[in-house]
Each structure stands twice: as structure tokens, then as C-alpha cells.
């Protein structure tokens, strides 16, 4: 109980002078008590960052992280007076170190970046704070989000083979999901996947026309009753044609059918307006997405040999999936998978609570940490378009060849195989 001082930190108190906020010295008074708390009476939104001119200037920041108040020192929450019991556990406010109940530490805020290395957590990850501390650090939140949050970190898609072919079905950061999605896109057109040029038209039409894209890496373990688990992200196509900021999603459920073994699939699903709207709705806790397996490609890691597992018969009504599968499963069957927004992962990435609607409707700007995904998407659709054109040109050529062959020889052999002006034969192998 020694260093609960609210030391001045003039650099980070742009609107306050030290006279306005006399330093408090180390006493138990530093713990916010019910009486000194400015009560929040209206909104519970975490993103109130712009203070009106009439509000007092930002308070001084604590120079160092606090020592934690010992659990034994309190038997009831100082804010709401509820007693701590077996199921009413103690929670420490990360800004003052005081003990509160669960309900009274529901705000998550970024901590001063100067505390990095001095506290037992990363300051770029929002931490639980009590109501009094929330109002103290609130004026700094936008500044710290801009300078220190995960969404503003540098991020790039690693081409390392070990990670490239082993996307994890469980990720706990949205930055990681962004890299995973980028790798999935890269692999879809890469040299280790069987890609038939004639599929380019189908993929192009479905993905290009999508109102949103869902990237999901899913593990299925049929040995233990058909468990299906996976995480990923959703981005929406905005009216101006750009992509929205990413929204973290996950799925957990049971899968049925005659399946055996373990499979991991990287999937890209085209979402329609209905699915995007449902996800953006604050009242939706989960949506059911029909994952159509018809576009599943062959397993990664094998050399391109012209084999495709499953026919390219795209017939899904609401959404179609374009996936890569590893493991012992052939195709994937994910119909009716339940998709949930992962608010905790979004919070950690954006540095504040964000509503899925704000993310998917373009009210949250594209974060720097997702730029690598937007670039990858641009390259992906460009390449898909190029392959679609080549495929169309090839088909026209083959059609013409067959017609001319038929007219000159009266039918029979095709002339297209040994005389192909459009480069490599199916499957296209490009890097």
C-alpha cells in the first residue's frame, strides 16, 4: 500500500496545469470512494472521447502503475457495497489498484503507454478499470488509441512456409486474423493449390459480387462427436466499393454427417446483404451461415496435378465458400454454422468497444494493421480477373478451333491441346 500516488505527468496532461490538480500523496485516500466518484448517469458508451468545452480539463495521470490492494483488505465492493463471496469475486482496477466487484469493473480502457514494462500487461490491450478511474483516463483514450493500440501497429503477411500452410483455427487477436486472411487469399491462387482456370469465372463472379467476405479457419474433429471450431473475420463492401474495417468472428458447434478424422480448412465465404445486415445488428448474438462445400479445393501441400476434389458446381443460395482443406477430410460440410461476433477480440484490437454495425458500415475507419489485407485483396481480385479473361479467351479459342477442325476434317480430334496460345494448361500454376 505504498505507491498509490497520483504523480503528475505533465507531458500527458495537455489541458491541465498542476495547480488545477494538486498531487495526492500515498494514502489510502487514493482509492476512489463512492463519494469522490463523478457518477456517469447517461451513456455507457466507451467511445465518448470528445469532451465538451465546458468539461474540466483532463486530470493528471499516475506516473507509475499502482500496487494492488490486497484481497484481504476488503470484504465488500467500495462502489456498490456488494459483499465478496465465492461467486462474487474480487477484481482489481488496473489504474488505481483497488478491489471492486465484477459489475463495477466493466469498463475497459487503455493504460498510459509510459507504463509499458512497469506493469504486468501490455498497455496496448485495454484493461479493466473502476468507474472513477474510467473517467480519469477517458480524456486520453483517443490519443492512446492513435498512438498505441493494436489496430495501429504495423502488420504484414508473412510468406514463411511454416505459417503459410498452417493457419491456426484459433486466434486471439484480430491482427492475427488479418494475417491469416491474407495468407488464405495468397494460398488460394498460389502454386500449391489445384486451381483450374475455368473456375476463375465462378470464383470471380461470386466473390466480386459479394456484399461481404467471411474468412474463417475451421477445425473439425469428428472423433469427438463432430466438434467444429474456428475463428476469423468479416469485412463488408461499402457503398463506395472499398472494404470496411475487419470484425472478428468465431464459430463453435457440432457438425453432423459421416465424417472421420481431423480437418482444418481455410475458407473464404461470400456474404450477401442479409448476412452482413444480421451481423451488424446489435441484437443479433449469432447468425447461421450456409457454408457450401462445392468450391473446396484440394489439400494444400501437394503438387499441382490437375486434380480437384469436388465439382465446381456453385449452387448456394445465400453464400458460397471457397476453401482450402488440410487434414484427413476431403471436402467440407459446414452448413448452418453459427457465427458470432467476438467483441472481446474487437475490443483488444480497436482499443475500445466497437459496435459491429459501426465496423461493418464504414463508421470505423480502415485500421493501419489491416492495410496488408486490403492490399492482398486488391492483388487477389486483380489476379482473379486476369485468370477469368484468360479462361474466357481460351474457351473462345477452343470453340473456334473445334469449329474449324470440324468444318475442315468433318469432326474428330481436337486441335487445342498441342497448340495452345494461352500458356500453361490447366491447372494454372503461378506464383
- Interface residues with Zn ion (CB under 5 A)? 77, 79-80, 93, 95-96, 101, 104, 130, 133
HSE-up of residue 31 (Cα within 13 Å, Cβ side): 20
Closest contact distance (angstroms) between CB of 132 and Zn ion is 6
Report the residue number, 101 or 304, with the smaller CB distance to Zn ion: 101
DSSP letters for 145-210: HHHHSGGGS-------HHHHT---S--S-HHHHHHHHHHHHHHHTSTTS---TTHHHHHHHHHHT-
Closest contact distance (angstroms) between CB of 134 and Zn ion is 8
- Rounded to whole angstroms, the Cα distance separating 153 from 425 reads 42
| Cross-strand partners of 219 | 229, 264
Helix ranges (H only) for 245-342 are: 273-280
Closest contact distance (angstroms) between CB of 353 and Zn ion is 18
Report the residue number, 79 or 206, with the smaller CB distance to Zn ion: 79
DSSP letters for 28-82: GGGS--GGGPPPP-S---TT--PPPTTSPPPPPPPSSPPPPPPGGG-SB-TTT-P
Closest contact distance (angstroms) between CB of 301 and Zn ion is 51
Report the residue number, 61 or 264, with the smaller CB distance to Zn ion: 61
Report the residue number, 133 or 341, with the smaller CB distance to Zn ion: 133
The percent helix, strand, coil of the chain (3-state, each to 5) is 30, 15, 50
- Rounded to whole angstroms, the Cα distance separating 355 from 120 reads 28
| Cross-strand partners of 229 | 219, 252
Closest contact distance (angstroms) between CB of 7 and Zn ion is 16
Closest contact distance (angstroms) between CB of 131 and Zn ion is 8
Report the residue number, 44 or 317, with the smaller CB distance to Zn ion: 44
Report the residue number, 30 or 192, with the smaller CB distance to Zn ion: 30
Report the residue number, 128 or 326, with the smaller CB distance to Zn ion: 128
- The single residue listed with the C-alpha cell 502488420 is 155
Closest contact distance (angstroms) between CB of 82 and Zn ion is 5
Amino acid at each position: 500500500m505504498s505507491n498509490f500516488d497520483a504523480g503528475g505527468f505533465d507531458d500527458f496532461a495537455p489541458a491541465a496545469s498542476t495547480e488545477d490538480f494538486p498531487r495526492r500523496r500515498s494514502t489510502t485516500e487514493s482509492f476512489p470512494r463512492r463519494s469522490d466518484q463523478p457518477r456517469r448517469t447517461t451513456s455507457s458508451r466507451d467511445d465518448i472521447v470528445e469532451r465538451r468545452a465546458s468539461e474540466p480539463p483532463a486530470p493528471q495521470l499516475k506516473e507509475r502503475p499502482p500496487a494492488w490492494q490486497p484481497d484481504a483488505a476488503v470484504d465488500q465492493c467500495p462502489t456498490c457495497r456488494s459483499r465478496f463471496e465465492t461467486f462474487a469475486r474480487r477484481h482489481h482496477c488496473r489504474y488505481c489498484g483497488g478491489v471492486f466487484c465484477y459489475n463495477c469493473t466493466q469498463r475497459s480502457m487503455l493504460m498510459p503507454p509510459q507504463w509499458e514494462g512497469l506493469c504486468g500487461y501490455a498497455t496496448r490491450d485495454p484493461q479493466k478499470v473502476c468507474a472513477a478511474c474510467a473517467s480519469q483516463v477517458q480524456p486520453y483514450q483517443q490519443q492512446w488509441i492513435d498512438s498505441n493500440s493494436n489496430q495501429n501497429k504495423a502488420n504484414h503477411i508473412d510468406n514463411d512456409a511454416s505459417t503459410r500452410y498452417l493457419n491456426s483455427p484459433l486466434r486471439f487477436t484480430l491482427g492475427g486474423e488479418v494475417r491469416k486472411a491474407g495468407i488464405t487469399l495468397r494460398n488460394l491462387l498460389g502454386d500449391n493449390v489445384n486451381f483450374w482456370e475455368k473456375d476463375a469465372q465462378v470464383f470471380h463472379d461470386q466473390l466480386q459480387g459479394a456484399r461481404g467476405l467471411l474468412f474463417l479457419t475451421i477445425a473439425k474433429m469428428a472423433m469427438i462427436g463432430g466438434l467444429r471450431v474456428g475463428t476469423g473475420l468479416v469485412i463488408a463492401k461499402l457503398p463506395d466499393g472499398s472494404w470496411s474495417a475487419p470484425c472478428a468472428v468465431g464459430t463453435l458447434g457440432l457438425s453432423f454427417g459421416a465424417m472421420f478424422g481431423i480437418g482444418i480448412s481455410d475458407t473464404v465465404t461470400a456474404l450477401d446483404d442479409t448476412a452482413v445486415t444480421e451481423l451488424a445488428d446489435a441484437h443479433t448474438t449469432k447468425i447461421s451461415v450456409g457454408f457450401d462445400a462445392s468450391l473446396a479445393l484440394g489439400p494444400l501441400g501437394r503438387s499441382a496435378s490437375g486434380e480437384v476434389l469436388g465439382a465446381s458446381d456453385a449452387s448456394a443460395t445465400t453464400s458460397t465458400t471457397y476453401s482450402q482443406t488440410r487434414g484427413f477430410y476431403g471436402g467440407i460440410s459446414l452448413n448452418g454454422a453459427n457465427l458470432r461476433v467476438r467483441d472481446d477480440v474487437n475490443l483488444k484490437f480497436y482499443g475500445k468497444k466497437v459496435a459491429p454495425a459501426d465496423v461493418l458500415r464504414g463508421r470505423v475507419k480502415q485500421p493501419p494493421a489491416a492495410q496488408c489485407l486490403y492490399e492482398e485483396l486488391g492483388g487477389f481480385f486483380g489476379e482473379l480477373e486476369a485468370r477469368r479473361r484468360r479462361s474466357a479467351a481460351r474457351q473462345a479459342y477452343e470453340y473456334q478451333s473445334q469449329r474449324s477442325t470440324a468444318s475442315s476434317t468433318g469432326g474428330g480430334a481436337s486441335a487445342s491441346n498441342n497448340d495452345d496460345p494461352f500458356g500453361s494448361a490447366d491447372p494454372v500454376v503461378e506464383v
